[in-house]
Amino acid sequence: MLKALATGATLLASLVATAAPATAAPAPQPHDRMVIDVVSANGSGCPFGTAEVTPSPDNTAFTVTYSQFTAQVGGGARSTDFRENCQLGLNVHVPEGYTYAISGTDYRGFAHLERGAYGSETAYYYFQGERQTTRIRHNFTGYADGDWQRTDTIGISSLSFLPCGEERYLNVNTELRVSGGWSNTRNTTSFLTMDSTDGRIDTVFHVAWRAC
């Protein structure tokens, strides 16, 4: 779902304060609002119209809600359903004199993994034209049956800030994988999902600011 969204310009102090020295001055933050244009949402995990991006109430982040993001094996699953991915292309317009980085992400979903089955959630964050990416992976093992949450927290020294004055898309590529392992996939189904039909499950991307 393509649309322009306005988010606030507030430093995510809760994520970066612990990495800064106790005597460090508060990081500057812009007073104007930044605008995010969602220019693309591609992949088997987010067909057109199934991923929605909205600002958080406190204007320190933006959230992504999916409605068809499930990787599964066994049962009536297709052979290609073991892997699902979604790549978001975001055009972030920042206030003059500032730049930004993604300082952390909260992922939530539901997992049902039979004994012997396993899976993973992997995310890549990078600006258009970058050769290196930030890659973070979380693993799951069966037996599991319930809600899950994983958090990517990037240390302040490792944040990848957009070069000042440049305009590049922020690409966020998320992947779910499931393997049946030694479980009996003929009679059982294992899956990982970030689906949400009632708006309670979403992914939260936190933003950090830096003055140019």
Query: In this model, does residue 14 exceed pLDDT 60?
Result: no
Q: What dihedral angle (degrees, nearest 10) is formed by the CA atoms of 118, 121, 122, 128?
A: 150
CA distance 139 to 152: 13
Number of domains in the chain: 1
Q: Is the pLDDT of residue 23 over 60?
A: no
d(CA 14, CA 156): 12
| Residues across the chain | 212
| DSSP codes of every residue in 42-109 | ESTTS-TTSEEEEE-TTSSEEEEEESS-EEEEETT--TTTTEEEEEEEEEEEPPTTEEEEEEEEEEEE
Residue keyed to tokens 């009632």: 198
Residue 180 sits at φ, ψ, to 5 deg, of: -70, -20
Q: Express each pLDDT in 93-107 by its tens digit.
A: 777 888 888 888 888
Q: Alpha-carbon Rg of the chain, whole angstroms?
A: 18
| pTM, rounded to two decimals | 0.74
Question: Which of 11, 53, 50, 51 has the alpha carbon at shortest distance from 28?
Answer: 11
Each residue of 141-183: pLDDT tens digit? Answer: 989 999 898 888 766 556 778 888 888 898 888 999 999 888 8
CA pair distance 190, 114, nearest whole angstrom: 6
Q: Which of 63, 33, 37 is nearest to 51 (CA)?
A: 63
Domain that holds residue 83: 4-211
Q: Per-residue confidence at 194, pLDDT binned at 50, 70, 90?
A: confident
